Amino acid sequence: MFCVSFLLIITIVSIIAPLIAPFPVNQQDLLNIKGEMTAQNILGTDSGGRDNFSRLLYAGRISLSIGITSTIGMLLIGITVGVISGYFGGIVDTLLMRITEFVMLFPFLIFAIVLNAALGDKIKNPYGSAIILVLVIIVLSWGGIARLVRGKVLQEKENEYFLAAKSIGTPTYKIILKHLLPNILSVVIVQATLLFAGMIVVESGLSFLGFGISKAIPSWGNMLSDAQEGDVISGKPWIWMPPAIMITLTILSINFVGEGLKDAFNPRGRR
């Protein structure tokens, strides 16, 4: 219950960030760079003199949005490929699985870094980096869900309801929409929570390394990038600890929710 409540709270706070943030997200105070926590700046300021608390609120919008958008995109592609592959089998299955394996073997991190190096200076819109990151994640990360869905579809094809529907000539689209998808939904929902948590980690990692979101747009990942400076990580914890705590609590909450859903959908799996 705590995990669900925490996720709801950070989602609501992120949405209303413009209403509760004490400062504009990129307002700088060059006389107060890496400033300590005060009544005015309750989480201090970063290396650009920007209020950390305001940026932390806005950063949640970006990190959560990237996680949700990427997860939805991967689910749409993965479910489509997995259902088609598992349902039709034969050469269709072979072709789609070879494509899936290629996507899964593609070096995602290297591709993201190379793409950032090639396009970084050409992207004028600060949100362009976020859009490109989401597209790269979606295109290169749907393979796992596709294989999972395919395996589940192959299992469902052995059940009597499927064989009965086929024997009476039920149209393919009805079998898929009314029989297969509802029966694989529980597996997809549980996997979606894991994907969501994973995508937040991916965004945070890439942004921390400087290959993700533009610094003009705060995310929990690029807020952490200030910790690369020795004096910050050793003597100014108010700069990097808040985003680190938010990432950790969010990932743990999502994973616990996923485990709870897994137990709810599969009570036999409980010990």
Residue 271 has pLDDT above 70, yes or no: no
Q: What does the CA dihedral 215, 216, 220, 224 come to, rounded to 10 degrees?
A: 30
- 3-26 burial string, b = 16+ CB within 10 Å, else e? beebbeebeebbeebeeebebebb
The residue extents of the domains of the chain are 63-261
Predicted confidence (pLDDT) per residue in 239-267, tens digit: 888 999 999 999 999 999 888 888 787 65
pLDDT at 126: 67
For range 162-191, the mean pLDDT: 87
CA–CA separation, 122 and 113 (whole Å): 15
- pLDDT confidence bin for 270, thresholds 50/70/90: very low
CA–CA separation, 3 and 9 (whole Å): 10
CA–CA separation, 16 and 52 (whole Å): 17
CA–chain centroid gap for 51, Å, is 26
CB 11 within 8 A of CB 64: yes
pLDDT at 120: 61
CA–chain centroid gap for 66, Å, is 6
pLDDT at 146: 94
According to the per-residue pLDDT averaged within each range, which of 40-49, 95-104, 216-225, 234-243 is highest? 95-104
The DSSP code for 36 is P
Closest alpha carbon to 229 in 221, 237, 220: 237
Compute the mean pLDDT over every residue in the chain, rounded to the nearest whole number: 86
| 63-261 belongs to CATH 1.10.1200.10 | no
